[in-house]
Every structure is written in C-alpha cells, then in structure tokens.
Amino acid sequence: MTSAEIRQAFIDFFQSKQHTVVPSSPVIPQDDPTLLFINAGMNQFKDVFLGTGTRPYSRAVDSQKCIRVSGKHNDLEEVGPSPNHHTFFEMLGNWSFGDYYKAEAIRWAWELMTEVFKLPADKLYATVFTDDDEAHRLWESETSIDPSHISRHGHKDNFWEMGEVGPCGPCTEIHLDLGKPAPGKAAIENDGPNTESGRFLELWNLVFIQYFRDKTGKLSDLPATHVDTGAGLERFARVIQGVESNYETDLFAPIINEIAEQSGVAYELNGIHIPHRVIADHVRSLSFAIADGGLMGNEGRGYVLRRILRRASRFVRELGVDGPFVHKLVPVLVEVMGDHYTELRDRQQHIETVIRAEEESFLRTLDRGITEFGSSFNQSFSTTIDRSRIKEWADKTFLLGLGASKPGEYDSTTNQVLNNFMNILQQILGDSKLQIDYSYLDKELPSINNEWKKRYSRPNQANIRELLDELSSKFQLFKKKVEISGHDAFKLYDTYGFPLDLTEQMARERGIEVDVEGFHREMEIAKERSRAGAKFVMGETNFETVSEGEHSEFTGYTSLEESTELRMIRSFEEENREPWGEGPGHTAYALVLAKTPFYAESGGQVCDYGTIIGDGWEFWVYDVRNEGDRRVHYAWAMGNVPDTYPVKVIAKLDMQRRRRILPHHTTTHLLQAALQQILGDHVTQAGSAVGPDKMTFDFTHFEKLSDEQVAEAEAIVNRVIREDLPVRASSMSLDDAKAKGAMALFGEKYGDQVRVITVGDGSDNNFSMELCGGTHLARTGEAGLFRIESETGLSAGVRRVECTAGAAAYENMLKDRETLEDVKRSIGSGGSDLAEKITKTLLRQREMQKEIVRLQQAALKGSVDMLADWGVELEFKGEPVLGVFAHTDAISDKNGLQQVGDKIIERLAKVDREGFGIVGATMEKTYM
C-alpha cells in the first residue's frame, strides 16, 4: 500500500463506523496561544475536552498535520539519527466525544491493523496502564491478541494528561515487534515495549479521557468519557511497506533521491544518511508551516522555523553543497503530498521563495557565526595553570608533614611561602613548552628556601627542583582544560543555528574540546523556559450561572445594541490591564451573554469596546475573546457590584470605535485586490491588524514597492471608494465559495459553511470576493478616503503597508496639511513654487557648507603651524619629551580637532622621535 492508500484506508474504515471526516487544521494554531504549532490531533478538539465547546458530531476521524519542535514535544535533535522521529508528521486519529469508549476503540484498532493493514497478529503487543483492569480485560475479550503480549506500565508510558490541571486518563498503546534492536542499540534479554532497545515500535496510542485533575492533583470523574487516538502515518507506512525506517517509505524516498542526485552524495544506511534524513524532514515541516501562514522571524514560531531551516542548511553543507539548496526540494514534496494537501500546490511558489531567501540570509549569518566561534575559541584557549589543583597536589605530596596535620592547615607564613611557590609555578609553566626555566628558579628560589628553612629543616633547593620536575611531568594534569564553554556552544546553537556537532567538529580541528555537559544544561534551561511558556494550564472556567439557555449568539453584523440576558459571570484579578490608569491588579469580570453585538478579536480585527448595563450596575467592556463556544466579555465594574446579578441586560457598543474600525477592514479587502492587479496573483495576505486608528496589511512579495506602485494602489482603492460599490455578506458552503473564486486566508481553518464578503454589483466582475468573518461597511463610499502611510519589509518575502481610512485618514491628511503650511511659511512660498524654492534653498545650503569647509581648512593650516612651533622639551620619567600646549579659536568641533592633531603629528614626524600622543579638547567635550 502507498502512504496515500494507507491514509485513505484509515479514514474510510472509521467513516464506515459512522465517524465524521474532519479536515486537518492548519499547523499554525488559530485560537490557542498556548501552542506554537499544532502538535497532536487532539489540539483542534481541546475545547470539547475542556467542556467549553461542542461539535455537531460525536465521532470523528482525521489525518492531522503536526509539527513537534518545542515544549515537551521536541523531536528536533532526534531527527536524523532516529529512524522514526520527525519534526513534521501526520497523525491519523479517531475520536469519540461522549459516545463509544474502550471496547469499541480497542476492537476497531485491532480490526484495522490485522484485517485491513494485514499486520501479523503474533507480532503485535499492547501496553495498558497499571491500574486499568478494564482495558486489560477488553484486550483479551475483544481481540485475538496473545495474552502474554499484554503488559502494564506506569504513568510515564500509559497515562495521558493535557496539562498540570485538566482532563486526563489512562491510555493503551499498540506496538509491533520489529525482530531486532534499532541501529546502535543493544539487545535486551526478555525484551518488550517501552525499553531502550527500539525493537518494539509504538504504532498507535488509544487515550481514554475519563478524569479531571484539579490544582491539588486530585482526580475526579468527568461527566462524559472521550476517546482520543493517534497513530503516525509515517510509522504505519514503514511497517506496511516493509522498509528499514520511515525514511525509506514513499513519503520520504523521492525527496531523499532528489537530495542524493543534486548533491552527488548517495544515501546509504551503512554510510552517509543522516544529512539526507534531516534535510528531507525539515523541508516538510518548513513547507507545511509556510503554506499555513508561518513566517521566519526572531521570536516565537518564526524563530523555531528559522532554526529548522538553519539546521537543514548546515547538513546541506555537510554534503559539500554551497549556496541555497533546500528550496529546490519543494517541487518534489508537492508531487508527493500536494494532491491530498492542496495548500502545498497552491502556495508552492511562495514556499520556495521564502525558503530560498532565508537560506541566503543564513549563509551570511553562518559566516558571522564562524567569526563568533573564533572569538569564543580565542577566549577559551589558555594554558594558565589551575592554581587550586596544583595547591591540592602540593598539599598532598610535599607540604603535608611539614608542620600541618592535614592539607591546607598552615600558618600565615607557610601560606605566604606556598603562594610565592604558586606564583613561581605560574611563571615557569606559563607556556606549553613544559620546560622549567632553572635560571629563573635559581634567581627566585633562595628567598623562598630561606623562608622555609626558618621553619623546617627538610626543604632545600634540591627538594624543590625535584618537586618541580615531577610537577612538570604532570603538567597536563594541572593545565586548565581548554574548551568552548557550554554557554558559548549553546549561544552558537541558539543564535547562529550551529548544531552541537558542528561546534564540536570545528573545535576538534583546533585541538580543543567542547563542554558538552554544559551545553546540555543550557539546552535544558531553554527547554524548561519553552515548556513553561507552552505548557497548557487550564484556567479558571467555573463561571457562576445567572440564567439558563443558549449563549454567545453574535448579532453585531447588523446591531450595535442588544437587549439580552446575562448567562454566566465570574470575577478575577486582572494583572495585565489597567482600569483607567489606576494600575494593574484590580478585580475584573468575565461575562457571557445570550446574544451580543460585541465582536471578539479574530481574523486580524480588534474587538469592540462598550458597556453592559443591568439593573443597578454597569460594566465597561475592554476585551472580548472567543473561548471555545463562548464569547467572553472582559470588563471593569463602573461602580459597586451588587451581590445579585440581573438577568436582563443591555449590551451597547462604543459606536465611535466600531465606526472607525469598519473602513479599515473593508479597505483591507480593496487593497489586496488592488495589489494583485498591480503586482500579480502571487500576492496574498500574510497577516493584518485592523484597528480604529490604522490598519497594517502584510502580503507576499519579494521586492520593495516603488513610489509609483504605492501611488497606483492608493489610487485604485480610492477610485473604488468613489464608485460607492455595495459590500455584501453571504453564507455558502466552502466548496461553493472556492468555486466562485473567493479568496481564503492561507493558514485559516474554515468550517463547512463560510461567510463571504463581496465588493461589487454581484456580477462576474466583482472587485473583490473573500472569506471573512469580520465587520464591514455597507458600501465602499462610506470609507470616504484611503491613504497608504508607509511601506516596509517585514521578513523574507513579506512586505507590510500601513494604511488609514475614513476619519483616521482625514485626520492624517489635516496633520500633513498643517505641516505643509508651516514649510510654506518658512520658505516664503505661495505653494505652486514650493518644490522649486526648497530645491534652491538646499543647493544654496550645500554651497555655503563647501565655503565653510574651505575657510576652516585655511584656518586649521595656520593653527597647525602655530601649534607646532610652540613645541617645548619636557621630561617624563627621566626621558625627554616634546610637548605642545596651546589654545586656538580656529577649532570648533571634533572633526577640526582631529585634523589639527593629524597635521601636528605629520609636522613633528620630521623630528627624530619614536612616537607621538595627542590630547585635545574643545570647550564642551574632550577627545583623545
């Protein structure tokens, strides 16, 4: 079976068991700030498990795109050496939300593996949680597995947790006996699953979510039980296709073959293969992330993607290839996976361009990293003697017994003698020749020897020479270890993308070592920071219920005010926001309404502000978020809050804020269409931020826009505004929207029904058609005015324009007019000749500057002659010195002072002097 057939067989099997086929969500999370990347199939269903969301189905099946390179799921360093670890992989999964449970999950998994995939039953093993007697019994009753192939394991291997707080439960895993240990692993007697040998390959994990763990660690039963399973497509392909590793499957082989052909280095399991694996894996994760809206950057997921690219580029160099290379593999990946994941084919050109640009940038960075390595090497390389180790050795071998009961117990005189001795050793052994300079010793030794003779009769010059000879022979034992520190090695890894093995290789070439343990300590510290940032900690979701019924119906497309009911409320300490400048740490409230006109921040558009008013109280809403199926309004209380909350409330938007936001969102659509007309169809939205005062629009393009292109885009949008075209919103199926040519934001996850915003008269000649859930104007004419305020580069292949529309554009226009009037008054222009007068003024200024420089040069020449003639003979430490001390009004700034100094040195160089020093000062500053 091909990998595509395996994927489809999995989906078809569970579809026949009444599962709804759910499309993969993008690998870039849309509404989950706890994740950098989607790293498991359950991510898109997390709200269901938390009880904050629902689905119209209770059974689901999918093949989810996953990237694991951060937090506890970090497979980056395993990629290459391991035959079955990847940064990107597909997780096949089936799900039950309060529907079937353990019996069906186990029975169907066994049926699929043995009857559909034809895996040998006698090679399959099952692990269950230590206390899960039910799962153990079901394996025996629901399948034909050999009972001796069932084993129990603890929390580490067979208990799943979403986070420190939240849903959790036991799991059962299915393993296949490969018959031999993994490469480089030793055989283990009586081997089984979950050992270090790698002989048993985990294929499928069935998680039974039945508990909730609270902050104290206590487990309680969930109101409904769920099934969450995950199986790696790559591992299934490996065992079904009968190859040695995932990298020999049809998912990787075409890419690896292309790497071998283009590099000229064959892929050999018993030879060079790790670079091929790393590059093939990394081009997959990069391509899928970029296709779903990921961008390279210096923080967050952008930084992770940059590190993946740099690691791939480093292995490209190991194959002897210079220059950009990884981007050349994208077409092969598209051929392998583009039919199922059409976003790869749709975004192929963009993916290739982004990767190539980043590769070129990294090659320049790599050179800087090599320079940084050289700096670290120079700092680390030292043959300084480790005084503490010599002292310890001297204590034990020479001074013990000379009056001390144990090492280190000497009086002050002996300690002084010992310190003098250490200083001599440092002088003697200060270089790597390992030779004792006895002439130096003979010069310094008598005073030390006399000092010792005062206290002890035993030490003499022969004794000390004997000691030094022995010390010389043991020189390497006392030499400080020369190495690149763990901190520096990690800095090279973290900042410049240097893998540890590259740093070690460069260090070996210079005869030094790398503090590998220190590197791993730094790595663990970084991982802990990552885990802390990425770890999901379930927030306080225990709202107080005020009234029962449906909640969170959004009415804000047509209404600015809504008479509604308060469904839920809770209070909390807001640490991040300040109520009216009073400082953070005040009590805030979260409210859920039956209906609401408040838009929650999403799709690049900021949320609405406003008030929620009830009988006897009023709240000011400062933030609105979608949390699962709830639209949560975060608010400050405006006055005292009564003990009893009213059911009937009025939700009212800040209408001025909403009216300033609308033009910015609608003109975002107009701008994208305009840029596509001017630059080409490759232009797509890479991000946006729509607010009341401006909007930013990020789009894919690899050149700075010319002034003419910016002006043309601005003109097109303003023309459409003047045409006053209707802006229509309609709901249709995703397939129908795509068939009509509606543009989708790449990386966005859409449901079966989508909202489409069309600008135009409804004919085939609409100006714009996009999938969008934001709020918009009714007609383009309501925008009034549109301005492009700036155009900049955001990252490789992505440009950003900052724009204003409506009232914000008019306000900026007035500011520009005021500035222009100020300039006209300053220049003395009536307006029509302003440009000509500014040009003449600038030319006149440049001519005056040239004349000033000429006069200064003439004055400086006279100053030099004067100052040089004022030289007097001085004496400094017994040596004759020629000194000049004088004051001149001809020097007014640093540049003039430096020129005078240079000229004086030039004049005095004619005198037979070995060197010169100049100290000068203006009246305000001193320059050396």
- Report the distance separating Cα 881 and Cα 884, nearest Å: 10
For the segment 414-419, the average pLDDT, to the nearest whole number, is 58
Q: Is the pLDDT of residue 747 over 60?
A: no
Return the closest-CA partner of residue 372 out of 485, 479, 260, 273: 485
* Of 99-103, 776-780, 883-887, minimum mean pLDDT range: 883-887
Say what the pLDDT of residue 871 is.
Answer: 58
Say what the pLDDT of residue 909 is.
Answer: 58
Q: Is the pLDDT of residue 41 over 60?
A: yes
End-to-end, the C-alpha distance of the chain in Å comes to 78
- Report the distance separating Cα 184 and Cα 191, nearest Å: 16
For residue 535, the SS3 value is: coil
For the segment 595-619, the average pLDDT, to the nearest whole number, is 93
State the CB neighbour count (10 A cutoff) for residue 489: 27
For the segment 428-433, the average pLDDT, to the nearest whole number, is 43
| Domain CATH number, residue 30 | 3.30.930.10
CB within 8 Å of 789: residues ≥ 6 apart: 694, 802, 803, 804, 812
- Judged by phi (left if over 0) then psi (alpha if -120 to 50, else beta), residue 80 lies in left
Percentage of residues of the chain with pLDDT beyond 90: 44
Q: What is the pLDDT of residues 769-799, one digit of tens each?
A: 999 999 999 999 999 999 999 999 887 778 9
Q: Is the pLDDT of residue 657 over 80?
A: yes
Percentage of residues of the chain with pLDDT beyond 70: 75
For the segment 403-410, the average pLDDT, to the nearest whole number, is 51
Quick one: 65 and 208 in the same domain? yes
Q: What is the pLDDT of residues 185-195, one digit of tens each?
A: 888 888 889 98
Q: Is the pLDDT of residue 859 over 90?
A: no
Quick one: 800 and 677 in the same domain? yes
Last residue of a domain, one of 595, 618, 653: 653
Q: Is the pLDDT of residue 118 over 90?
A: yes
| Residue 555 resides in a domain | yes
Return the closest-CA partner of residue 280 out of 310, 250, 314, 312: 312
Say what the pLDDT of residue 670 is.
Answer: 97
Q: Is the pLDDT of residue 29 over 80?
A: yes
Q: What is the pLDDT of residues 358-389, one digit of tens each?
A: 898 888 777 777 777 766 655 554 444 455 55
Quick one: 327 and 422 in the same domain? no
Say what the pLDDT of residue 527 is.
Answer: 66
- Total tally of structural domains belonging to the chain: 7
Say what the pLDDT of residue 885 is.
Answer: 59
Quick one: 530 and 467 in the same domain? no
Quick one: 191 and 267 in the same domain? no
Instruction: Pick from 295-304, 435-444, 534-543 the range whose average pLDDT is largest.
Output: 295-304
Q: Which residues of 151-169 are buried (b: 16+ CB within 10 A; e: fewer)?
A: bebeeebbbbbbeebbbbb
| Residue 319 resides in a domain | yes
Return the closest-CA partner of residue 566 out of 654, 631, 655: 631
When pLDDT is cut at 50, 70 and 90, the band that residue 536 belongs to is very low
Last residue of a domain, one of 211, 243, 275: 243
Q: What is the pLDDT of residues 668-707, one digit of tens each?
A: 999 999 999 999 888 888 889 999 999 999 998 888 999 9
CB within 8 Å of 410: residues ≥ 6 apart: 399, 403, 404, 418
Say what the pLDDT of residue 242 is.
Answer: 94
| Residue 835 resides in a domain | no
| Domain CATH number, residue 592 | 2.40.30.130
Quick one: 632 and 687 in the same domain? no
Say what the pLDDT of residue 36 is.
Answer: 86
Say what the pLDDT of residue 841 is.
Answer: 85
CB within 8 Å of 396: residues ≥ 6 apart: 407
Quick one: 869 and 919 in the same domain? yes
Quick one: 17 and 146 in the same domain? yes
Q: What is the pLDDT of residues 475-517, one digit of tens each?
A: 444 445 567 888 888 888 777 767 676 677 667 756 678 888 8
- Report the distance separating Cα 231 and Cα 204, nearest Å: 4
Say what the pLDDT of residue 178 is.
Answer: 92
Quick one: 297 and 326 in the same domain? yes
Return the closest-CA partner of residue 501 out of 150, 873, 209, 80: 80
For the segment 705-733, the average pLDDT, to the nearest whole number, is 95
Q: Is the pLDDT of residue 428 over 90?
A: no
CB within 8 Å of 853: residues ≥ 6 apart: none
Say what the pLDDT of residue 681 is.
Answer: 82
Range of the domain at 871: 844-927
- Report the distance separating Cα 673 and Cα 810, nearest Å: 23
Q: Is the pLDDT of residue 154 over 70?
A: yes
CB within 8 Å of 825: residues ≥ 6 apart: none
For the segment 762-767, the average pLDDT, to the nearest whole number, is 79
For the segment 345-363, the average pLDDT, to the nearest whole number, is 89
When pLDDT is cut at 50, 70 and 90, the band that residue 272 belongs to is confident
Quick one: 754 and 808 in the same domain? yes
* Of 10-14, 629-633, 891-895, 915-919, minimum mean pLDDT range: 915-919
